[in-house]
Amino acid sequence: MAIESSDPDFAATKVVWERYRDLTRFLHSSRIALNREAALWNTLQLSAPENVGITTPSLGGVGSYEVTVAEHVAALQDFETMSGLVLLGSCSLAEALTRLRLGVDKLDRSGIETWGNEALQRNNRSFADLGDNCGVLVEAYVARNIYAHGQSVWSQNDVNRVANSGGTPPPVGARLEVANRLEAYRQAIKQYMRLTGMTI
């Protein structure tokens, strides 16, 4: 059940959901723009794109950024970086909603398996209500942590955490790949957010 507009947390909850919507639009619009930009440069049919440079002012107007066309096109096709950043934002918004549900300023370090379940219980729900997405949700948070801490492969602890939640983790030592799982991750995150009852 959605919270009432008279609820003290209504405004903050509304902001979280608006930011989640904006993040979704950013993800899809960025993919469209990046694909179009890469296609544009590829139509130039440069004989040696690794030798052709592009220069643009840096953000903030301090200095400039230089890159070859080949490097530019490769960066445009790096959906892992964009997916990792969107996953970070998605998890942060879910945590913001959780803090509202629990009435706390900070979540402890026990993980979503603990504070997430507590938030769901406040709405008479549990991880069981997530169905198959329970393991996917925990996997999303583990993947977020791997990415956020600058790691690139799944550790034994990472694999165990997903397996213990009923998920199907990649093998130990597998390279983190967010792009191919991002939609599943965000679907599980959004389902969790809705089940907290902090919706408008």
pLDDT, one tens digit per residue, over 23-63 is 999 999 999 999 999 999 888 888 898 999 999 988 887 88
Cα-trace Rg, the chain: 20
Supply the mean pLDDT for the chain.
Answer: 94
pLDDT, one tens digit per residue, over 80-127 is 999 999 999 999 999 999 999 999 999 988 899 999 999 999 999 999
Q: What is the largest CA-CA distance in the chain?
A: 64
Cα 78 to the center of its chain, rounded Å: 15
pLDDT at 2 over 90: no
The amino acid at 171 = P
pLDDT, one tens digit per residue, over 147-159 is 999 999 999 999 9
CA separation for the pair 183, 143 (Å, rounded) = 13
Query: Binning pLDDT at 50, 70 and 90, where does residue 189 land?
Result: very high
Question: What is the pLDDT, as a whole number, of residue 62?
Answer: 83
CA separation for the pair 83, 103 (Å, rounded) = 30
Q: What 8-state DSSP symbol labels residue 68?
A: E
Query: Binning pLDDT at 50, 70 and 90, where does residue 173 land?
Result: very high
Query: How far is CA 193 from each of CA 3, 43, 125, 188, 197, rounded to the nearest angstrom?
Result: 13, 43, 12, 9, 7
